[in-house]
Amino acid sequence: MNRVESVQDRIHVTNVLISVSDKHELEHLVPGLLGMDEVTLYSTGGTYDHIRSMMHANDQHRLKKVSDYTGQPEMQGGLVKTLDYRIYLGLLSEPFNEAHAADRERAGAKLIDMVVVNLYPFRSVARRRGADLEDARGNIDIGGPCMLRAAAKSFVRVAAVCDPADYTTIVEELRTSGGGLSLSTRFRLAQKAFGHTAQYDRAIADYLSDTSFQSVSSTYRHERRAE
């Protein structure tokens, strides 16, 4: 295992990946990020469209589709958008590690300095009147927790943002520091991100534990395999 012994207290934010179900408060975050001259945004699906709709035409070159960056189109239904080697090189690369830098150069990967992710609304959908197992299953997020966990693990260099309530303080710190986030901020965000994903997985585990197999079986039509 590599051990990180040296870190920068303040990381200059340049590349930000945004992929959210809850788009609340993006109107405060996005202009704040674009107020930093060097920031480029990467986004997916409906989030990309939402961000693009609030941007001035002369800023739209600073918003890029994740699929254009990875070279892989999104899977139908949005099932696979961000599970890509380039993205995780950009998140998990350790500072001052020459081998990691060589990996990024070989793959054409950029360092990602901030991930802004919140997860599919599993709990609210599962509790909704009339919702069935398939409604709940479809709202189990895969890529979101993976990105949050990778970013939070890499708090020595990356900011993992999962709560819209943090957007204002993040923008303020970026403004007052000339575009950087401190190690203390990144660590606080990592604490919150791991708590968030733990609660999310707990909600899914509790739901499945409370669901009988009879309910599972009755949800789906059983097909016979063709001989």
- SS3 letters for 92-154? HCCCCCHHHHHHHHHHCCCCCCEEEEECCCHHHHHHCCCCCHHHHHHCCCCHHHHHHHHHHHC
pLDDT at 83: 76
Global pTM exceeds 0.85: yes
In the chain, DSSP finds a helix count (H) and a strand count (E) of 11, 7
The pLDDT score that the predictor gives to residue 79 is: 64
Question: Is it the case that residue 25 has pLDDT exceeding 70?
Answer: yes
The CA-atom distances, in angstroms, between 6 and each of 3, 9, 130, 157 are: 9, 10, 53, 11
How do residues 142-192 score in pLDDT, each as one tens digit?
989 999 999 999 999 999 999 999 999 999 999 999 999 999 999 999 999
Q: Shortest CA distance to 66 belongs to which of 13, 122, 117?
A: 117
Strand 10-12 relative to strand 180-182: parallel, antiparallel, unpaired? antiparallel
Per-residue model confidence (pLDDT) at position 99: 84
113-144 burial by CB neighbour count: b if 16+ within 10 A, else e? bbbbbbbbebbeebeeeeeebeebbebbbebb
DSSP E strands, the chain: 10-12, 15-20, 40-43, 63-65, 114-118, 159-161, 180-182
Q: Which residue is listed with tokens 């990778």?
A: 150
Each residue's pLDDT tens digit, 56-84? 888 999 999 998 998 887 776 666 677 78
Please tell me the predicted confidence (pLDDT) of residue 78.
Answer: 66
pLDDT in the model for residue 30: 96
Domains along the sequence of the chain with CATH? 10-210 (3.40.50.1380)
Distance set, CA 146 to CA 88, 107, 153 (Å): 9, 20, 11
Nearest Cα neighbor of 114 from 9, 33, 26, 25 is: 33
